[in-house]
């Protein structure tokens, strides 16, 4: 794992590899595009576009079915992709990787397949107050069905850290599952997931890590983290939309019932019942997103060419710089930790609504996100209905952060708020 205090040597705030991203080289409303909505989705390098195109032009067929050359190639590409995901996250085996449409589907799979079979009235599902709705609503659904109870590790306030002062007593209750985001998409907090998984494991608690914002943003070693489940999305790490996955520890995956039923996942079917393939294929019903896996494989290779430590330190430097510039502006409330944050800043302006902020920033070519970021309960706790968010990736530069600060000042002037 990268130490959050990791210092970057050699990143000078220039955007890395920008020339690989044709989309970044355009004007929006007459201004150069400044794309700062990477926590929502990243842009795609040529290597990923080419790999996907090459797959469709030369190798496209369905997998695990036809015994013909193209089908064999498609199957090999798909299964090689699984190997690549396993090595990217240092899973013990590719058999621990299930392909899904992304993080949301992966977390629903866990809640549905593991949750419904293992939770009952009186059990506790322990989450954090900073969960994205996709690691909250599936647990609400399963809690309603099983009678399990939801409890939450509190967030400290604007600093956005987990308050772990009562973690031992929280875990001493009959907790069956601990679910937590690795990096908060609205605060930029990096949670101590390895430490929490270790504590949970000692109590026999199953752990789920939402890796939507950590995969591809810092080195992730799943054996070191020691979680039972880890969910991620390809589109946030330079890969295509509609592909992502779930890591599930082999011992736990073997116990789980299928999620979706249909072709691909069965071994033998009778009119009234079926037997299933071995995991992970038992969890992949229907024709999978083969081209998506090919693109994801290319994205992982691409990121490892840059180096994930380098990506992390670059993003963090940009976020710290943005944090510093924004604190100088009048009436700006910043969320998330000052130190050791991931590559995003989330802020609230007293006199300007986040939707106005992002609409006006867009008019100046700056792409931000405004809203509750699928963290509604957290926003309510912090006493705001929305924040504006700038989120960075390795291709962003210090100059773009300067432009962000300049545009915010201009918007403040437009609204008649005295800019500092
Ligand atoms: N978990 C976290 C922490 C996220 O940030 C997101 C998406 C998801 C889960 C869901 O990922 P999906 O790929 O399945 O949709 N976050 C955001 C965001 O911050 N802005 O748009 C999507």
Instruction: For the chain, 420 residues long, give each residue's pLDDT as a single digit of tens.
Output: 333 443 454 556 689 999 999 999 999 999 999 999 999 999 999 999 999 999 999 999 999 877 899 999 999 999 999 999 999 999 999 999 999 999 999 999 999 999 999 999 999 999 999 999 999 999 999 999 999 999 999 999 999 999 999 999 999 999 999 999 999 999 999 999 999 999 999 999 999 999 999 999 999 999 999 999 999 999 999 999 999 999 999 999 999 999 999 999 999 999 999 999 999 999 999 999 999 999 999 999 999 999 999 999 999 999 999 999 999 999 999 999 998 999 999 999 988 999 999 999 999 999 999 999 999 999 999 999 999 999 999 999 999 999 999 999 999 999 988 655
Q: What is the pLDDT of residues 145-184, one digit of tens each?
A: 999 999 999 999 999 999 999 999 999 999 999 999 999 9
> Are both 24 and 76 inside the same structural domain?
no
Q: To the nearest 10°, report the CA torsion of 96, 97, 102, 104.
A: -10
Counted domains in the chain: 2
CA 256 to chain centre: 24
CA angle, residues 287, 87, 200, in degrees to nearest 5? 95
Count CB neighbours of 204 within 10 A. Answer: 9
Tell me how far apart the alpha carbons of residues 226 and 228 are, in angstroms, rounded to a whole number.
7
Q: Kindly state if the Cβ of 281 falls inside 6 Å of ligand 1.
A: no
pTM of the predicted structure, to 2 decimals: 0.96
Integer angstrom CA distances of residue 95 from 74, 227, 300: 18, 16, 18
Residues 238 and 279 reside in one and the same domain: yes
C-beta atoms surrounding 119 within 10 Å: 23
Active-site choice (227, 238, 305, 374): 374
Domain contains 419: no
39 CB under 6 A from ligand 1? yes
**Residue nearest atom 21 of ligand 1, based on CA coordinates:** 40
Q: What's the domain range around 300?
A: 48-304
Verify that 188 and 223 share a domain, yes or no: yes
Q: What is the CATH number of the domain that holds 294?
A: 3.40.640.10
Q: Are 299 and 314 contained in the same domain? A: no
E strand or H helix that includes residue 6: none
Non-local (6+) Cβ contacts of 381 within 8 A are 129, 155
Q: Say whether both 330 and 261 belong to one domain.
A: no
Give residue 217's Cα distance to chain centre: 9
Of 160, 166, 203, the residue nearest 185 (C-alpha): 160
| Alpha carbons 272 and 353: distance in angstroms, whole number | 57
Q: How far is the CA of 372 from the centre of ligand 1 (A)?
A: 12
Domain boundary residue, one of 280, 304, 328: 304
Of 304, 329, 349, which residue sits at a domain end? 304
- The alpha-helical segments, DSSP class H, found in 40-192 are 46-54, 69-88, 103-109, 116-118, 137-146, 167-172
Whether residue 61 is contained in a domain is answered as yes
Instruction: Return the residue matching tokens 């709705």.
Output: 133
Q: Are residues 175 and 204 in the same domain?
A: yes
Q: Centre a 10 Å sphere on the Cβ of residue 409 and count the other Cβ atoms it contains.
A: 17
Q: Is residue 323 part of a domain?
A: yes
Q: Supply the CATH number for residue 28's domain.
A: 3.90.1150.10
Whether residue 39 lies inside any domain: the answer is: no
Longest Cα separation, the chain: 73
Does ligand 1 have an atom closer than 6 angstroms to the CB of 100?
A: no
Q: Are residues 236 and 323 in the same domain?
A: no
Q: Check whether residue 298 and residue 407 sit in a common domain.
A: no
**CB < 8 Å & 24+ apart, contacts of 192-201:** 192/162, 192/164, 193/225, 193/227, 194/1, 194/224, 194/225, 194/226, 196/164, 196/167, 197/225, 197/226, 197/227, 198/226, 199/167, 199/168, 199/171, 200/171, 200/175, 201/226
Residues 362 and 260 in one domain: no
Clarify whether residues 68 and 134 are in a common domain. Answer: yes
In a domain, 6, yes or no: no
| Domain limit, last residue, from 274, 304, 334 | 304
Determine, yes or no, domain membership for 41.
no
Report DSSP state, residue 262: S
Ligand 1 pocket: which of 106, 182, 185, 358 to mutate (most atoms <8 Å of CB)?
Answer: 185
289 lies in the same domain as 316: no
C-alpha span between 82 and 8 (Å, rounded): 31
Please tell me if the CB atom of residue 233 comes closer than 6 angstroms to any atom of ligand 1. Answer: yes
* Token pair of 384 as six digits: 């705001």
In a domain, 248, yes or no: yes
Tell me whether residue 3 is in a domain. no
Q: In the annotation, is 374 catalytic?
A: yes
């Amino acid at each position: 794992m990268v130490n959050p205090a990791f210092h970057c040597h050699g990143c000078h705030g220039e955007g890395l590899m920008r020339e690989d991203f044709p989309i970044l080289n355009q004007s929006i409303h007459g201004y150069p595009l400044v794309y700062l909505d990477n926590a929502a989705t990243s842009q795609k390098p040529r290597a990923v576009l080419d790999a996907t195109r090459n797959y469709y032009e030369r190798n496209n067929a369905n997998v695990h079915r036809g015994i013909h050359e193209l089908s064999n190639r498609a199957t090999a590409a798909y299964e090689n992709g699984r190997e690549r995901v396993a090595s990217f996250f240092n899973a013990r085996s590719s058999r621990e990787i299930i392909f899904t449409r992304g993080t949301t589907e992966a977390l629903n799979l866990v809640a549905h397949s593991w949750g419904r079979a293992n939770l009952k009235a009186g059990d506790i599902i322990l989450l954090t107050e900073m969960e994205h709705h996709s690691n909250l609503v599936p647990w609400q659904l399963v809690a309603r069905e099983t009678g399990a109870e939801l409890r939450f590790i509190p967030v400290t306030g604007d600093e956005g850290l987990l308050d772990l002062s009562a973690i031992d007593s929280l875990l001493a209750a009959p907790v069956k599952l601990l679910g937590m985001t690795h990096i908060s998409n609205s605060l930029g907090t990096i949670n101590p997931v390895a430490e929490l998984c270790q504590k949970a494991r000692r109590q026999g608690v199953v752990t789920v890590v939402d890796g939507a914002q950590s995969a591809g943003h810092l080195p992730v070693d799943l054996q070191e983290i020691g979680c039972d489940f880890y969910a991620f999305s390809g589109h946030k790490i330079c890969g295509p939309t509609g592909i992502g996955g779930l890591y599930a520890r082999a011992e736990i995956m073997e116990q789980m019932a299928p999620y979706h039923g249909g072709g691909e996942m069965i071994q033998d079917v009778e009119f009234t019942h079926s037997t299933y393939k071995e995991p992970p294929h038992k969890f992949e019903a229907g024709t999978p997103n083969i081209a998506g896996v090919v693109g994801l494989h290319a994205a992982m290779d691409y990121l490892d060419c840059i180096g994930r430590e380098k990506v992390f330190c670059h993003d963090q430097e940009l976020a710290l710089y943005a944090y510093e510039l924004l604190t100088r502006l009048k009436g700006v409330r910043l969320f998330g930790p000052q130190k050791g944050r991931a590559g995003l800043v989330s802020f609230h302006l007293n006199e300007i609504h986040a939707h106005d902020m992002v609409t006006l920033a867009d008019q100046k070519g700056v792409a931000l996100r405004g809203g509750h970021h699928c963290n509604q309960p957290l926003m309510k706790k912090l006493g705001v209905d929305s924040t504006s968010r700038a989120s960075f990736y390795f291709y962003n530069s210090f100059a773009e952060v300067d432009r962000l600060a300049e545009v915010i000042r201009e918007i403040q002037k437009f609204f008649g708020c005295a800019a500092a």
